[in-house]
Amino acid sequence: MTELDGAWAVDRLSGALPPLHGCVKRINGNRGTTEFPHLPGMPFEVRGLELHYRPPFAMLVDKLEPQNGGYLGHATMLGREFGRFRLRRLTTMDQLKAQLIKHIDEAHALEQNVLQMLDGMISTTDDPEILDALEHHRLQTQNHADRMAQRLETHDTAPSTVKQVGGVLGVLAKLPLDFVRGEKAGRNARDGYATEHLEIASYELLRRIARMAGDEETAAAAAEIIAEEQAMAKVIEEHWDKFVELSLREEGVRV
């Protein structure tokens, strides 16, 4: 363990550095990354008080000097300084809040994906009872997305404009969501059921992180959304026989 180990907030001081809002350097031993919200991290090697970036950023080196409990950083390119920044060690609460915002943002992105999925399901569903349930849940899902956007606004953050496919979004992206081939009813039910439980798991994590970060409003919102997702999963559970019957009928099978 070195004196630089841990997570550090990066504040721009001067020069040609880009805006550094939300930028964090994470260091563990002789390795670390400079991370920006919603973008891949930039890895570097720690050599004393110098951070040497790896390709394709190998021309960059951050040179640090201790200052007021943190560090003054000199950003250099090919040995020439082009900007200065300050490193502030993040407290546990700082890191909790950063994780909270990350999970809220991911929940918002997930809801946006689910809205698209529900639109596809609605367009391929003929059964009036199932169609009514899907349209009702679409209204709920839009409300979930709006609530997560509001929680981000409370934390002075906007929903991501760059949606990386990772975490729960990566799982959702792997669902077939095949609305063209046969057995639409069965596929809709299968994919919808899997997605409801994916959302439940996502909000269970968010609810607990929100409580740890002292954000009771987000925790309460997550709990309410979990209940609605569980109710929709229950609707699907109660209609498996109907989904099977509709699916077989679509394939011309009469039983």
The whole model's pTM is what?
0.76
Residue 39 confidence (pLDDT)? 77
pLDDT at 185: 83
* pLDDT of 179: 41
Would you state the pLDDT for residue 168? 52
Buried b (16+ CB within 10 A) or exposed e, 41-66: ebebebeeeebebeeeeeebbbbbee
Distance CA 124, CA 67 (A): 63
Per-block mean pLDDT, blocks of 10 residues, the chain (255 long): 89 93 92 88 96 97 95 97 96 91 93 91 87 95 97 90 49 47 74 94 98 97 98 94 88 79
pLDDT of residue 235: 93
Q: Which pLDDT belongs to residue 250?
A: 82
- The per-residue pLDDT for 37 is 77
Please tell me the predicted confidence (pLDDT) of residue 170: 53
Separation CA 49–CA 171 (nearest Å) = 40
User: For residue 255, what are its two tokens?
Assistant: 């039983």
